[in-house]
Amino acid sequence: MIWLLFLHLCALITWSAALLILPVLIPRSVSELASCGPDGTDIARLWFTHLASPVALLAIGSGTVIFIVSRQIDAWLLVKLTLVTVLVVCHVLGGLLILYSKREHATGVVVKCRLLLCTILSLECSIIALVLFKPSEEQLLWFL
């Protein structure tokens, strides 16, 4: 079980870092037209497809196995899983923002990236606080 927790923690840290860096990479790849792949793929797309998405699947998969093995269902855990679901939606929105930024008349890419970055950062801070404090049901009302 300890190896599974270690794997989950490493995957979460890497996924969190990849998600925080992604909104910074998207405007740079648009403005500089940076291509680093053999087929001209930009750095943001490579970052998303080769790092962020596989590590996200690893983090979610290992977290699911931990959830099944521990058989522990608390109120804070259900709130955390809800926040992780919203984080997955932000992950998908990051991928859609990469595709949108490649359009010919894409507008407001920088503003959308900043909004995504702030949302991801607030979600990750909330998840960390929930995991560290593990509030009871009564305390959870104050947390929300």
pLDDT per residue over 48-71, tens digit each?
999 999 999 999 999 999 989 988
> Domain containing 84: what range?
2-143
Residue pair 19/87 in contact (Cβ under 8 Å)? The answer is yes
Which tens digits make up the pLDDT trace of 87-130? 999 999 999 999 999 888 888 999 999 999 999 999 999 999 99
* Nearest to 63, CA basis, from 125, 20, 127: 127
Which tens digits make up the pLDDT trace of 33-49? 555 555 657 889 999 99
Considering its fold, how many domains does the chain have in total? 1
Triad 57, 68, 134: Cα angle to 5°: 90
Q: What is the mean pLDDT of residues 9-37?
A: 84
Cα dist from 54 to 9, 28, 58, 107, whole Å: 15, 23, 6, 29
Q: What is the mean pLDDT of residues 24-28?
A: 90
Residue 17 has which token pair? 């870092």
H/E segment holding residue 73: none
What is the model's pLDDT at position 119? Answer: 97
31 pLDDT tier (thresholds 50, 70, 90)? low
CA separation for the pair 101, 57 (Å, rounded): 24
What is the model's pLDDT at position 139? Answer: 74
pLDDT at residue 32 tops 70: no
